Amino acid sequence: MTFGYPLMIGVAVVVCAGLLLAYRALHRRRAAALAATGLRAVMPGRRRHVPPLLFLAALGLLLLAVGRPAATLKVPRVAGTVILAFDVSSSMTATDAAPSRLAAAQAAATRFVEVQPSTVDIGVVAFDQGAVTARPPSGDHDDALNAIRRLHAAGGTSLGQAILTSLSAIVGRPVSLPDPSSDAPPPALGYRGSATIVLLSDGEDTGGPDAVAAAGLAANVGVHVDTIGFGTVEGTTIQVDGYEVATALNEDLLTRIAQATTGSYHRAGDARALDRVYRSLDLRLTAKPQVVELTGAAVAVAVALLTVGGLLMIIWYGRIV
C-alpha cells in the first residue's frame, strides 16, 4: 500500500495514541471517583469501552484517508486484440449485400467498435491486391472508427497478405510465410491467444501469399481467424474500368481459412446479420495490475464504525455522550 501524503500516517498514529492515553486517564479518574462515592458504573465490564474505541478507529481511518491511500490490485477486465481486416477490392462494391458488400461491413464494424470497452484493442487493416494497416491496434476506438469510415474499394484481392499484415499488427513486427523450399521452421511470434482477426471479404482471391498457409501461421501463435462472407453464391456483376465483371461469394475458401485456426465462418447477407458474428468473438477475461485509490473505502468504513458506535451508545446509554 502507498500513500499520496505519507505524513498523515504519523499524524494518525500520534492523534489516536494521544486520544487513547487521554481516554484511559479519564476512565481511571472516573473509576476512582465512583469508588470513593461507593457507586457502581452504569455499564460494568469491558462493554463500556466498545463505542469509544469504535469512534477512535473511525478517526484513525479518516486521518489515513486524508493521506490518499492506494494499493496495486489485480482488476478483472475483458481484454484482447481484434484486427478488423476489410476487403476493399472492386468486387466489394457489388450490391448483393445491402447497400453494398463494403458498406455492410463498415456499418456492422462501426456498431461493434462503439460497444467495446477500451480494454479491447482494435486495429484496422484494409486489403486489396496488397494490404495496408490503416490503424494499429489500441484502446482509442475513435481512430478505428475514422479509419473504417475512410475505406473505399479499388483493385484486386489478396487474402493471404491480409492475414499476414494483420498478424504483423498483432505482434508488432513484419510477418511473412517461410520459404516452402526450405526446412526452416515458422517464425517465432510468441503466443497471442487473446487476439482475433476478423476477415470481412467476399472470398475472391486474385493472388499473393497462400491464404490457408497464412492462416496456419496464425494458428501456430494462437490467433483465431473468423471469416465473414459478403454477397451471394449466385453472384452478380460489377463495372470495372468499363467492363462488366462477374463476382460471387467464395464460401469454400473462407471456410478453409477459418477452420485452419479453429475459427468460424459466417455468411452475412446484410449489415444486421453481422451483429451475431461480433458477439461470438473470443475475448478473454484477464486480471491486470492497477493502482486503485482506497480513500473512498476508508471513509466508508469510518462512517460505518461511527454509525455502529453511535447506535450502541444509544442502546446502552440512551444517548450519545
How far is the C-alpha of 97 from the C-alpha of 87, rounded, in Å? 14
Cell readout for 236 is 452478380
Residue 41, CA distances (Å) to 36, 44, 46, 188 in order:
12, 5, 11, 79
**What does the pLDDT look like over 88-139, one tens digit per residue?**
999 999 998 888 999 988 988 898 888 888 888 999 999 877 778 778 998 8
Please tell me the predicted confidence (pLDDT) of residue 143.
Answer: 92
Query: Residue range 36-41: average pLDDT?
Result: 59
Task: State the average pLDDT over residues 172-201.
Answer: 83
Is residue 312 within 8 Å of 54, Cβ to Cβ?
yes
At residue 286, the pLDDT reads: 63
Q: What's the pLDDT tens digit per position in 288-316?
A: 677 888 888 889 998 998 888 888 878 87
How many beta carbons lie within 10 A of that of residue 306, not counting itself? Answer: 18
Q: Which residues fall within 8 angstroms of residue 34, CB to CB, at 6 or more apart?
A: 40, 41
Q: Which architecture characterizes domain 88-282 according to CATH?
A: 3-Layer(aba) Sandwich (3.40)
Hey, is 179 helix, strand or coil?
coil
- What does the longest C-alpha to C-alpha distance in the chain come to? 115
DSSP labels, 9-66: HHHHHHHHHHHHHHHHHHHHHHHHHHHHHTPPPSS-SGGGGHHHHHHHHHHHHHHHHH
Give the pairing of strands 265-268 and 224-230. parallel
Sorted by where each begins, the domain ranges of the chain are 2-71+290-317, 88-282
pLDDT at 10 over 60: yes
Name the helix (H) or strand (E) containing 169.
Answer: helix 159-171
From residue 18, alpha-carbon distances to 40, 56, 234 in Å are 27, 11, 87
Which helix (H) or strand (E) covers residue 77, if one does? strand 69-87
Amino acid at 164: L
* Averaged pLDDT, 76-82: 78
pLDDT tens-digit series, residues 131-166: 787 789 988 899 999 999 999 887 788 899 999 999
Residue 179: burial class (beta carbons within 10 Å; 0-12, 13-18, 19+): exposed
From CA 167, how far away is CA 180, in angstroms rounded?
Answer: 19
The pLDDT, as a whole number, for residue 310 is 81
CA 17 to chain centre: 45
pLDDT 10s digits, 262-274: 888 888 765 555 5
> What CA–CA distance (Å, rounded) separates 266 from 229?
6
pLDDT tens-place string over residues 171-183: 988 888 887 777 7
Mean pLDDT for all residues in the chain: 83
Contact 200, 230 (CB under 8 A): yes
Phi and psi angles of residue 5, each rounded to the nearest 5 degrees, phi first = -130, 85
CA atoms within 13 A on the CB side of 257: 33
> 173: helix, coil or strand?
coil
